[in-house]
Structure 1
Amino acid sequence: MDGQERARRQEMLIDFLRQAEGPLSGTQLARRLGVTRQVVVHDIALMRAAGVTILSTPQGYIYQQRDSMRSQTVLGVNHTPEQTALELYTMVDFGLYVMDVQVEHPLYGMLSGALRLASRRDVELFLEQVQRLDAPLLSSITGGSHYHTIAYRETRHVEEAIAKLRAVGIHVDDA
């Protein structure tokens, strides 16, 4: 394969991801580019190695763009699997953008998974996928203890969300 062809395809891939209103699956990208999903996965790996920030989420790939209007913090939380929906709905209801979930593994260190949840619909889709795949939550390996990187516009939104989470019995470490 010609290096120029790969470079053109990778530029198109980034353009598709930049213009997308949500995540795009490897299959969707492959169809648009006229290649196999494996070629897309390989191209994304090469671009990541070159420093391009493309995130893999359960819904597909996202080109990460910085939102200069938002601040970020990490919240430490602990709850049962049954409280996951309540936790995530509460966060997005207060305008928080749940970027990821992280757990501290005794052997591997910090493990994380991209979430990118900004709305109740995003949370719904995530929870449906967890159920459909019968996939354990990352927090299941730490007895419910985990962290979320969140983005927010106003500090009061974080404070209000923390107060609500605590009021419904979800443990939250001080931000």
Structure 2
Amino acid sequence: MKLTARERRNDMIRLLQKQKEAPISGSQLANHFSVSRQVVVQDMSLLKAGGHPVLATSQGYVWRGAPNNQQYERIVVCQHRPEESEQELTLLVDHGITVKDVMIEHPVYGELTGQLMVKSRKDVERFVSQMNSAQASYLSELTDGIHMHTLEADSEDDFDAAAKALEQAGFLVTSDS
């Protein structure tokens, strides 16, 4: 029995809500529902427009439901060369940090944000590999290396340790910089 579009989107919501460990790729969803990748993209856009907390990352789609009260969030400002991005991200995930996004302040467009959802060395390797294979430019290349990250951690101590490591590596921009 073929699902209606509404039934398919409802099933997509249930799948995303159940999936805790890793994003679900658009290709996986397309295969699961026997639809094209473009139908999945359209469904996800409709879900987002309908107020559902679906987040598209470089690894796939995740459900960003009600925030976990035990998670802390902080925004940091960093600056480095593009070739140091892997080092920066690895440093953060090694301190138990999830790098949710990267943001820049563009002089014409204003704030531009790219979703990352990087929380392990494997995620960092995948992200860097995707950037390299696509020959894509990092957002920070538009702003002389200056960019921001929204970070998530289990404790303020994790943030403090990560910030100290970023500072030691010369990546952290502070009010003293």
Q: CA deviation at 1:19?
A: 2.4
> Aligned partner of 1:136: which letter?
S
Report SS of the residue matched to 1:44: helix
What does 1:147-158 align with in structure 2 at a 5 Å threshold? 147-158=148-159
Question: 1:165, 1:172 within 8 Å by CA — same for their partners in 2?
Answer: no
Q: Is the 8 A contact 1:75 1:149 kept in 2?
A: yes
Question: Contact 1:100/1:116 (CA < 8 Å) preserved in 2?
Answer: yes
Q: Distance in 2 between matches of 1:81 and 1:126?
A: 13
In structure 2, the residue matched to 1:146 is 147
- Secondary structure of the residue aligned to 2:4 is helix
1:1-175 equivalences under 5 Å are 5-20=4-19, 21-65=21-65, 66-173=67-174
Question: How many residues end up aligned between the 2 structures?
Answer: 171
Q: TM-score, normalised by structure 1?
A: 0.92
User: 1:96-127 CA deviation, whole Å, 9 max, x = no partner?
Assistant: 11000000001111000110011111111111
Q: In the alignment, is the contact (CA less than 8 A) between 1:96 and 1:157 conserved in 2?
A: yes
Runs (4+) of structure 1 exceeding 3 A deviation are none
Alpha-carbon separation, structure 1, partners of 2:74 and 2:171: 18
What is the aligned-residue identity percentage?
A: 37
In structure 2, what is the Cα distance between the partners aligned to 1:135 and 1:5?
37
Query: Quick one: distance in 2 between partners of 1:171 and 1:38?
Result: 39
Give the SS at the match of 2:149. strand
| Distance in structure 1 (CA, Å) of the matches to 2:133 and 2:42 | 27
Counterpart secondary structure, 1:95: coil
How far, CA to CA, are the matches of 2:126 and 2:72 in structure 1? 25
Q: Can you list the C-alpha shifts for 1:25-73, whole angstroms capped at 9, x where unaligned? A: 2221111112122221111111111100111111111111322210111
Distance 2:44 2:71 in 1: 26
How far, CA to CA, are the matches of 1:128 and 1:80 in structure 2? Answer: 17
Give the root-mean-square deviation of aligned CA atoms.
1.4
Alignment partners' CA distance in 2, 1:123 and 1:58: 11
Q: Equivalent residue of 2:103, what SS?
A: strand
Give the aligned residue type for 1:76: V
Which structure 2 residue ranges, 5 or more long, are not aligned? none
User: SS of the residue aligned with 1:172?
Assistant: coil
Provide the rounded CA distance (Å) in 2 between the counterparts of 1:67 and 1:131: 33
Counterpart amino acid of 2:49?
A
Structure 1: 5+ residue stretches without partners: none
Q: Which letter maps to 1:91?
A: L
